[in-house]
Chains A and B, each alone.
Chain A
């Protein structure tokens, strides 16, 4: 199993542009998550999904959108990028909401 994979690894975005961060898992997990990690801070939950077709907001959803059309994929969309969205983005998945989380390698995004 590849586990949780994310693309791209790095990206530089101009202010106002949009982009989609990709996340795929091959463990048949129902739950998927997007977190952001800022320097010196813990991880903050952006959005999560409990299954295909179902998504919900986390702690810091503003400026982001998600969709979950399949069990495997959970893309994160940034609309009208702002410098405050410069961060490292991690996707994760789990079998249940209290099961251990499996994290992807992250996407380092700079908005300038």
Chain B
């Protein structure tokens, strides 16, 4: 069964810290991997999409890496801000294009 696990389930950090969110998946034959942000009561906003042939993507203070051989992806957030508080979801695309989601990491950045 294809599964995605995100650790930790919740994280609270002081403003300014650099932090890493982890995502592991059971199927090394994944294609692309996508990180999303979800604010309470809102929809999902795409943060980064890592294509199958890529190992990382960067956007502003965010950097996502993908290691298919170990079944892991990480989302690195530099210099965290209270506005970064949200739930971060990792999802991978299998061979059929199905998007399989993790349960998310709830991040709280304290001023």
Contacts and interface: CB of A to CB of B under 8 A. Distances in A.
Interface string A70-112: 0000000000000000000010100011101111111010000
A53 interface: no
A45 interface: yes
A103 B44 contact: yes
Interface string A26-43: 000000010000001111
Contact of A90 (B41, B43, B96): B43
Interface string B20-54: 00000000000110101000011111100100100
Given A42-B4, A42-B89, A42-B104, A102 B46 contact: yes
Interface residues of B, number: 25
B60 interface: no
Contacts of B104: 42
B102 interface: yes
B110 interface: no
Contact of A97 (B41, B42, B45, B97): B97
B44 to A, nearest CB: 4
Overall SS of chain A's interface: loop
A100 B48 CA distance: 9
B43 A104 contact: yes
B55 interface: no
B42 A106 contact: yes
Interface of A: 33, 40-43, 45, 90, 92, 96-98, 100-106, 108
